[in-house]
Amino acid sequence: MPRVWNFSAGPAVLPEPVLKGIQDELLDYKGNGLSVLEMSHRSAIFSSIIKEAERSLRSLMSVPSNYQVLFIQGGGTLQFSMIPLNLNKGGKLGYVTTGVWASKAYQEAVNLGFDAVEIASSKDDDFCHIPTYEDVDFSEFDYIHITTNNTIRGTQYQEFPDTGDALLVADMSSDILSKEVDVEKFDVIYAGVQKNIGPAGATIVIIRDDLISENLVNVPGYLQYTNHAKKHSVYNTPPAFTIYAVGKVLDWLIELGGVSTISAVNDEKAKLLYQAIDNSSLFYNKVELDCRSKMNVPFTTGNSELDSRFIARAEEAGFINLAGHRTMGGMRASIYNAFPMAGVEELMTFMKKFEEDEQNNV
């Protein structure tokens, strides 16, 4: 059976050479006579695997040396609580709610009893734009939390806000490594790896050294960044195989030419797909033009029955996971780094054919 075009929003498609590389090494990792799946996380071999993954990420993102790179479990979701628990200084915590995940991050801080404030939101227009917020007094806030790419609605920051005295914390789960960002503009960046950097099981946290507090009171050990930093991401048993696979994806990206190369490919894939949607008389995307995501492209016919027919036919033709998030309906094509240009082109051809067939049926 040939591989399908997998438009999943996450866990998402992985580069084929990475899967093959993992297959080659599965039974015997580099002549050691055992698999990474069965290795001690304290072994010298795994130690070099995790160090190498960190080194690759640092090089791809030009992470300054005064930032820690940590691999933690619990997904993006656990960061929704680790961020306020570790970074609050007793002041207000600002959240920009640009979608479902951003709202969950805010809600978690509220649930934990912090003074969390929605400083801006795009809820009123169904999250179809990225709001601006110039008149906020940032000095009142310990940090401002943003979500750089909104996976479900398909919006993305094109420029990042200046938050003055307040720290800037970013959930980059669905667009990390998709385009160049200046890490120094941020105080903390986090991302679950299963969208753009690997299989599920790990979250990357990039945090400035001086923000890592020691011995927080009433905070479980696992939830304190200091413990992960001191133990170089092996505070307890880490998701070793995921970290190994992440390393492979990072190597693939380096070999391809790095973030600037993939960013140009991502620009082109998104441009083509949005053009196909905009030129169609059947499909549309209602996100504001200058806020469109290059990673997640939602579209719909506006008719749920027709959308379902499109999704079913697409699946028969080998395009899977095109259904929009259950809260949104319609379609969504997630076209992360590993999703090939050829798949975008074939989807465009399929959409055109579907539209013609529908017109002929009327």
Ligand X SMILES: *Cc1c(COP(=O)(O)O)cnc(C)c1O
56 touching ligand X, by CB under 6 A:
no
* Positive or negative: CA dihedral 77, 78, 79, 80: positive
298 touching ligand X, by CB under 6 A:
no
Size of the site for ligand X (CB under 6 A): 11
C-alpha distances in angstroms, 299 versus 42, 101, 276, 324, 344? 47, 20, 11, 8, 14
196 touching ligand X, by CB under 6 A:
no
Active site annotation includes 28: no
Active site annotation includes 252: no
CA–CA distance, 314 with 321 (Å, rounded to integer)? 9
Return the residue of 7, 10, 82, 336 that touches ligand X, per CB under 6 A: 10
CB closer to ligand X out of 97 and 263: 97
199 touching ligand X, by CB under 6 A:
no
156 touching ligand X, by CB under 6 A:
no
Active site annotation includes 267: no
Query: What's the N-to-C CA distance of the chain in angstroms?
Result: 35
Instruction: Give residues 158-177 in contact with ligand X (rule: CB under 6 A).
Output: 171, 173-174
Query: What are the beta bridge partners of residue 141?
Result: 92
Contact assessment for residue 161 and residue 133, using Cβ atoms and an 8 Å cutoff: yes
Out of 195, 248, 269, 294, the active site residue is 195
227 touching ligand X, by CB under 6 A:
no
97 touching ligand X, by CB under 6 A:
no
3-state DSSP assignment of residue 209: helix
Least distance (Å) between residue 291 CB and ligand X: 15
Out of 5, 92, 142, 171, the active site residue is 171
101 touching ligand X, by CB under 6 A:
yes
C-alpha distances in angstroms, 15 versus 3, 18, 27, 117, 252? 12, 5, 20, 40, 8
One-letter amino acid of 5: W
Out of 92, 101, 248, 252, the active site residue is 101
3-state DSSP assignment of residue 319: strand
293 touching ligand X, by CB under 6 A:
no
Give 285's DSSP letter. Answer: -
35 class by beta-carbon count within 10 Å (0-12 exposed, 13-18 middle, 19+ buried):
middle
Instruction: Give residues 20-49 in contact with ligand X (rule: CB under 6 A).
Output: none
Least distance (Å) between residue 233 CB and ligand X: 17
178 touching ligand X, by CB under 6 A:
no
CA–CA distance, 283 with 331 (Å, rounded to integer)? 10
Return the residue of 121, 147, 155, 285 that touches ligand X, per CB under 6 A: 147
Residues that bind ligand X (CB under 6 A): 10, 75-77, 101, 147, 151, 171, 173-174, 192
- Residues serving a catalytic function are 101, 171, 195
